[in-house]
A and B are shown apart, each in its own frame.
Chain A
Amino acid sequence: MDTRIHCALLVSTALALAACGRKEEPAPAPAPAPAPSVEPAPTPAPAGIAVSSVTAGSAIGADKKVSVATDSFAPSDTMYVSIDTTGSGTAKLDAKWTYHKGGNVAVVEEDSMTIDTAGPATHEFHVSKPDGWPAGDYQVEVMLDGMPAGSKKLTVK
């Protein structure tokens, strides 16, 4: 046999043997399917409106928040109560101002407003008395849709 033929046979045999010994590579794992785009469920809006805080003071700012917080007033002061609400929708806010002396209670003023808000908001009620407040103990009760939502005890000195 020709030397070149020998060489060719040897090479082809070696290639065949090498091919037989090679382990089959596992097929590459298919690329993971992209995770389905799941939008997080929107946080449900709070049902209705809730009162988050009630603050008393002797002055408010343009944002309706109390700028001078106090529970103690001078006779010439206007008394304010600022109410922060959360949530959206329509609700009725009531404020009832009372004077307490001994075991007796006198209603000073009652006021209400219906609000329509798309989010957190601040609201205020106020009372004043041209000839000055009598010294003593007062209270303001805040109601939301007829349910107690907070109160503050006030003093005039």
Chain B
Amino acid sequence: MSDDMPDFSNVKGGSSSAATKIHVVVSGDSLSKIARREYGSAKDWKRIFEANRDILKDPDKIYPGQQLKIPPKE
């Protein structure tokens, strides 16, 4: 990049969908972190937990590589 190009390091990006998104768990993830990123509030972790009860027994135990369904933001 040329020196006279603007600095875009503080750009904030995001995405959302009217459909269910799939989040692949990475190291360091928690349902609260994912909820904050997807819904803007960590308190919404229960929505993700409920949508994934078929693969999650304990909301504190998620593993890298797991594919979690993220319901659309209401």
Contacts and interface: CB of A to CB of B under 8 A. Distances in A.
Contacts of B21: 113-116
B37 to A, nearest CB: 11
Chain B CB within 10 Å — which of A64, A113, A127 has the most? A113
Interface string B1-28: 1101110101111111111111110000
Interface residues on B, range: 20 to 34
Interface string A119-142: 001111111111100101000000
B69 interface: yes
Interface in A96-153: 97, 99, 101-102, 104, 106-118, 121-131, 134, 136
Contact of A117 (B2, B19, B23): B19
B8 A109 contact: yes
B16 A99 contact: no
Query: Taking chain B's interface residues, is the majority helix, strand, or loop, or is none over half, making it mixed?
Result: strand
A138 B1 CA distance: 15
A127 B15 CA distance: 9
A77 to B, nearest CB: 13
A95 B18 CA distance: 17
Contact of A125 (B6, B14, B23): B14
